[in-house]
């Protein structure tokens, strides 16, 4: 038995939040993974004219994620559903399903699929998690994935042009429920706190205390930490003034910066 086939196939729920899956589950390979077809509105995006079969490419990406140890069905289903190519420049669309970070302008990148799947999986381990915050919206891809898993997604971006870009991407996919904010995510979003999970998409030397204090008790924060060598860190708030810290994989993220860029 291959490494991949030991994992359960992701079952894509019908009618995920904002993106509509059709009823026709398509058998793609050895009847292993049932997928819903891609949302119709993505076919109208300019990047959909490249002759690439994005559903098939996402299927290959999801198989790779399973081989890399991602097991959470809801996360795998979300990764199968959200069209990553719609979040990058048309010239990069054919590479959108590679396991790589890609440039999105302003010296920033869209996170690598494995990193997105890993962080959202950790966030989704919080029982009953509904209200979540992403720090570092970038192009909006991870927020779109999170919106398939959590009912209340907040995201904050410090670069105005990227905030505007993310809003356009999410609007094109009718994912207007996601609450996008322009501001410095190092101070969190006190008006919407507490959060069941906080996912930080940029690396700081230390995880900001403001974010830790905006976690609900029982909530989890996932963030890359470090400058040269970075590591994913998981912090669980175990009490009003108790946090437990766990260090995970080595990763590579763009820097977490204070203040905003107009």
Catalytic residue ranges: 111
Answer for which of 10, 18, 185, 226 binds ligand SAH (CB under 6 A) is 185
Q: Which stretch binds ligand SAH (CB under 6 A): 3-11, 50-58, 179-187, 230-238?
A: 179-187
Write out the H or E segment, with its range, that includes residue 102.
strand 102-105
Q: For residue 227, with 0-12 CB atoms within 10 Å meaning exposed, 13-18 middle and 19 or more buried, which class applies?
A: exposed
Q: Among the candidate windows 34-42, 45-53, 120-128, 138-146, which touches ligand SAH by CB under 6 A?
A: 138-146
Q: Give the C-alpha separation, 51 to 162, whole Å.
A: 27
Cβ closer to ligand SAH: 106 or 131? 106
- We find the least distance from the C-beta atom of residue 255 to ligand SAH, in angstroms, to be 7
156 near 208, Cβ under 8 Å? no
Q: Out of 16, 61, 86, 135, which residue is the one contacting ligand SAH (CB under 6 A)?
A: 135
| CA–CA dist 74, 150 (Å, integer) | 10
122/246 Cα distance (integer angstroms): 12
The answer for residues whose C-beta is within 8 angstroms of residue 53's C-beta and 6 or more apart is none
Q: Which residue number, 10 or 185, has a Cβ lying nearer to ligand SAH?
A: 185
Task: Answer whether 111's CB lies under 8 Å from 141's CB.
Answer: yes
61 binds ligand SAH (CB under 6 A): no
Name which position in 36, 82, 96, 110 contacts ligand SAH (CB under 6 A).
110
Residues that bind ligand SAH (CB under 6 A): 108-111, 135-139, 141-142, 156-159, 162, 184-186, 201-202, 254, 256-258
């Amino acid at each position: 038995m291959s490494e991949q086939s030991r994992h359960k196939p992701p079952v894509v729920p019908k009618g995920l939040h904002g993106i509509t899956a059709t009823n026709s589950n398509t058998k793609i390979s050895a009847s292993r993974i049932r997928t819903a077809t891609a949302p119709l509105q993505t076919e109208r995006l300019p990047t959909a004219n490249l002759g690439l079969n994005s559903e098939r490419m996402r299927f290959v990406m999801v198989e790779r994620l399973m081989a890399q140890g991602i097991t959470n069905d809801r996360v795998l289903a979300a990764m199968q559903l959200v069209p990553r190519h719609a979040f990058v420049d048309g010239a990069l669309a054919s590479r959108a399903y590679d396991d790589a970070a890609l440039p999105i302008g302003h010296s920033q990148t869209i996170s690598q699929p494995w990193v997105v799947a890993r962080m959202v999986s950790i966030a989704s381990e919080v029982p009953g998690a509904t209200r979540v915050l992403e720090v570092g919206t970038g192009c909006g891809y991870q927020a779109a994935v999170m919106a398939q898993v959590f009912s209340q997604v907040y995201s904050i971006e410090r670069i105005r042009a990227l905030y505007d870009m993310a809003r356009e991407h999410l609007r094109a996919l009718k994912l207007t429920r996601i609450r996008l904010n322009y501001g410095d995510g190092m101070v969190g979003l006190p008006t919407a706190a507490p959060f069941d999970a906080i996912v930080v998409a940029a690396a700081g030397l230390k995880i900001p205390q403001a974010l830790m204090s905006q976690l609900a008790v029982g909530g989890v924060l996932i963030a890359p930490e470090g400058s040269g060598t970075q590591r994913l860190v998981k912090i669980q708030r175990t009490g009003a003034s108790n946090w437990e810290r766990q260090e995970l994989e080595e990763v590579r993220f763009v820097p977490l910066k204070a203040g905003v860029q107009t």
